[in-house]
Amino acid sequence: MFKIGCHLSSVKGYVHMGKEITALGGNTFQFFTRNPRGGSAKPLDMEDIEKYNKYAEEMGIDVILAHAPYTLNCASAEDKKREFAYEAFKEDISRLELVKGAMYNFHPGSHVGQGSDRGIELIAEILNRVIRPQQKTKVLLETMAGKGTEIGRNFEELRRIIDKVELSDKIGVCMDTCHVYDGEYDIVNDIDNVLKEFDDIIGIERLNAVHINDSKNPFGSHKDRHEKIGEGSIGIEAFERIINHRYLRELPFYLETPNDLQGYKNEIQLLKNLYK
């Protein structure tokens, strides 16, 4: 079954998001666990979560993706910032344990000049502090475009993080199509080889989700500016191959394109039409 959805606002809670994605023709969705620029999470609403879990069961929404705030930097040089990242992570995961089918995606971090070796160490340190043997929530590292000092700019860096995590069976990867294309992985002309490389370096079984975005910038630009599907440098034919690829077709796909809800509805329909 084609699992397709988009990024939604979480301010009105889970039930609202569930109904919203149904209305848009999707069957999965992504949301920020808290204000994307950081800050505290709103109070836990157990009634909303219980109602949502029932709704998801009825509607066959079997997976959703929670996204950590993108300012959270596990590789920061400042103790205070890393401690904030740790606290937010711990709280987010403990809450997500209550929500049916939730996975947790985050940007590995930026080493801010400390070097990628040090950054990778710091990221793994936090993962080792938060991940518990009994947790159900998978934690996904997102593939990054490699702007600035971002870690996760290539598959090797993600592999090096995973290698340092003790409970690494709880770790997966979310591939962002805009980011990998900006990061010099040619998913337009050579998707088979890109995924073979992913398999050789990380292992394809770790790939748990896809962010499906076109890119405003050319191949290898390391920019990270998302574009509407079919209107950027990746293009519609490439997306048709991507969503139907044997390594990807069973994974959940999340649009993070610059769209309002009607725009998302149109893109969900467009992709459903291309799915064989």
Residues forming contacts to Fe ion in the complex (CB under 5 A) are 142, 176, 211
Contacts 24+ apart (CB under 8 A), 231-236: 232/178, 233/181, 233/188, 234/177, 234/178, 234/181, 234/187, 234/188, 235/188, 236/270, 236/274
How many other β-carbons are positioned within 10 Å of the β-carbon of residue 40?
10
Does 224 bind Zn ion (CB under 5 A)? Our answer is yes
Does 142 bind Zn ion (CB under 5 A)? Our answer is no
Q: Which is nearer to Fe ion, 15 or 161 (CB)?
A: 161
In angstroms, what is the minimal distance from the CB of 43 to Fe ion? 25
Task: Name the one range near Zn ion by CB under 5 A: 47-55, 80-88, 223-231, 247-255.
Answer: 223-231
Question: Nearest-CB residue to Zn ion?
Answer: 224
Strands 252-255 and 3-7: parallel
Scanning residues 243 to 272, which ones bind Zn ion (CB under 5 A)? Answer: none
* Torsion of the alpha carbons at 178, 254, 38 and 70, rounded to the nearest 10: -20
Instruction: State both tokens at 84.
Output: 């904030």
Strands 102-106 and 139-142: parallel
Q: Which does 211 bind (CB under 5 to 8 A by kind): Zn ion, Fe ion, none?
A: Fe ion
Task: Name the helix (H) or strand (E) containing 59.
Answer: helix 46-59
Q: Which does 224 bind (CB under 5 to 8 A by kind): Fe ion, Zn ion, none?
A: Zn ion
In angstroms, what is the minimal distance from the CB of 140 to Fe ion? 10
Q: What gap in Å lies between CA 32 and CA 97, rounded to an integer? A: 16
Q: Match 């079984």 to its residue by tokens.
A: 205
Q: What gap in Å lies between CA 31 and CA 234, rounded to an integer? A: 24
Q: Which does 214 bind (CB under 5 to 8 A by kind): Zn ion, Fe ion, none?
A: none
In angstroms, what is the minimal distance from the CB of 104 to Fe ion? 12
- For residue 128, give the 3-state DSSP assignment: helix
Task: Name the one range near Zn ion by CB under 5 A: 85-93, 99-107, 193-201, 217-225.
Answer: 217-225
Task: Name the one range near Zn ion by CB under 5 A: 23-31, 70-78, 88-96, 216-224.
Answer: 216-224
Does 182 bind Zn ion (CB under 5 A)? Our answer is no
Does 214 bind Zn ion (CB under 5 A)? Our answer is no
Q: Which is nearer to Zn ion, 119 or 183 (CB)?
A: 183
Question: Residues in the site for Zn ion, rule: CB under 5 A?
Answer: 224
